[in-house]
Amino acid sequence: MTPAKRKITVLPGDGIGPEVVESALEIIKATGVAVEFEKCEAGARAFQKGIVTGIPTDTIASIERTKVVLKGPLETPIGYGNRSANVTLRTLFETYGNIRPVRELPGVQTAFTGRALDIVIVRENIEDLYAGIEYMQTPGVAEGLKIISREGCEKIVKLAFAFAIAEGRKAVHCATKSNIMKLTEGLLQHTFEEFAPKYPSISSKHILIDNAAHQLAMRPEQFDVIVTTNMNGDILSDLTSGLTGGLGFAPSANIGNDVSIFEAVHGSAPDIAGKNKANPTALILSGAMMLRHIGEGKAANDVEQAVLVTLESGIRTSDMMGADTPAGTTDFTKAVIGNLGKRSKLSPPKQYTKVDLPPAQLGVNVVPAQSRRLVGVDVYVESDLEPKALAADLEPLTQSSPLKLQMITNRGAMVFPGNDRRVSLVDHFRCRFVLRDPASKFGDAEIISLLGVIGSKHSWMHVEKLQEFDGEPAFSKSQVS
Ligand code: NAP
């Protein structure tokens, strides 16, 4: 009996999606690998049919069955609501790790040609500012919450090291802005530093994200794998795509607990859709990553090598610099198929092993603390008063509370007490209250009563408890202006 073929969900997508996806499918089929494709709808057409998520239930059912998706770019059409089908997929299947490898490609001229760049960005993909938790706190002040969890950090750090080991790589950098965002970005740095010694074969180093950007522009060859938070990774990975030839060459994998989605980094490029002009390389290389993920390492190597040989032979699509007579998408595809089985002279295949993915920890993940203590509360107040006048209002109001006003900040800068320097203010004040008697205790009842008295005169819109976990402050200290 012939063994059952491995099923893959395919989303051709929008714009140039169907052309570049078809190219990748033809090449994968030509490798002879035993896979079967389930083509499903998602994106613009689904939105036009009134499916508000952009992902029909049949598509979701196929993904739940196959667990592996090869995906073309999906548009977020204007006028069909604000939801992005890409975000729906990422959220539904919790694809927490975004892996974006880039490398120097033969014949693709860049400012870094000849420097053998081979860099992978491993980006946390669901937390951070991209969790999309935003509020207009006053008509003129917006807030976005940067949510970073220990669980999310652990998963992305383990994924980065597992990927480095599977690819025989030597070094992992962790890039954060922990010098400023000590608790959120710092959580990734600390988790990285805690786990790095468990991978003694890989060298590890923390780097500040701004320096990482500078170093990537100056000496990118020093980097191998970079693990980072969501927004940093979004920006850095486009930067690294630019170093090696641009979006047409940048593949990616979105790794989830049980579903993984492989796609080009680029979008639907509607200006060249249907013109047989799109460069399919990024999607083809995403297909190779997918083949490796499902255990078809030989086919993955064959596809990657055939792309390299095609580029070495001088065949170029119109986006590649120096393409006098560009090949169309279909010609490029035929050339890659013709080169299957050949090996690149400049970049022979590497040895890969299976990525040892971190196990899914479903349920509620809790980091225990031996002790916790409530030491104060921050109340965000909307006011058009100057800081001194606001403090003069709040202090008598809160006189009967066990909590006293300690300070007021405006956009992070301390404006009360003791700062007479003029700063530009907005009507959004963080008023920090702490215990009058540090040895005493308070709880929710006292906070509610405090909010009641503040609310009798001022509009408050946000409250944060100030806690200590195991004796350590679990909140940021004020920045003295
Ligand atoms: P884009 O589609 O990536 O296109 C930007 C430009 O890059 C194109 O106009 C084209 O430039 C060039 N380009 C991109 N891919 C190419 C390829 N394979 N071959 C040749 N040239 C390529 O970015 P966008 O215009 O900002 O986004 C368009 C739509 O795609 C939006 O609806 C967006 O939401 C969506 N999008 C989806 C995804 C995804 O599904 N993951 C990702 C990004 C964007 P030329 O002008 O030189 O032809």
The CA 177 to ligand 1 mean position distance, Å, reads 29
Distance 82 CA to ligand 1 centre (A): 19
Q: 3-state class of 65 per DSSP?
A: helix
d(Cα 470, Cα 157) in Å, to the nearest integer? Answer: 24
- Say if residue 213's pLDDT is above 80: yes
pLDDT digits (tens, 9 = 90+) for 162-175: 999 999 999 999 99
Is there a catalytic annotation at residue 302? no
What is the 8-class DSSP label of residue 131? G
* Interval 374-406: pLDDT, tens: 999 999 999 999 999 999 999 999 999 999 999
Ligand 1 atom closest to residue 280's alpha carbon, by position in its atom list: 18
Q: Give pLDDT, residue 187.
A: 98
d(CA 262, CA 89): 12
Say whether 288 sits in a helix, a strand or coil: helix
pTM of the model: 0.94
If pLDDT is split at 50, 70 and 90, which confidence band does 417 have?
Answer: very high
Angstrom distance (rounded) from CA 412 to CA 410: 5
Q: Is 324 one of the annotated active-site residues of the chain? A: no
- The answer on pLDDT for 215 being more than 90 is yes
- Give, using CA atoms, the residue closest to atom 33 of ligand 1: 75
Q: Residue 419: its pLDDT value, please?
A: 65
161 vs 204: CA distance, rounded Å: 9
Q: Which of 96, 130, 319, 380 is catalytic?
A: 130
Q: What is the pLDDT of residue 235?
A: 96
Q: Euclidean distance between the first and final Cα of the chain, in Å?
A: 75
Give catalytic status of residue 177 as yes or no. Answer: yes
- Residue 99, beta-bridge partner list: 122, 253
Using CB distances shorter than 6 Å, the residues near ligand 1 are: 16, 20, 73-76, 86, 247-248, 263, 266-269, 271-272, 278-279, 282, 319
The model's pLDDT over 307-350, given as tens digits with 9 standing for 90+, comes to 999 999 999 998 886 667 889 999 999 999 999 999 998 888 98
Measure the CA angle with vertex 351, ends 346 and 355; round to 5°. Answer: 130
CA pair distance 415, 7, nearest whole angstrom:
61
479/481 Cα distance (integer angstroms) = 6
- What pLDDT, on a 0 to 100 scale, did the predictor assign at position 480? 46
Q: Please identify, by atom number, the ligand 1 atom nearest to the C-alpha of residue 283.
A: 18
- 70: closest CA among 124, 125, 17, 5? 17
CA–centroid distance, residue 318 to ligand 1 (Å): 14
CA-nearest residue for atom 26, ligand 1, is 267
The mean pLDDT value for 155-163 works out to 97
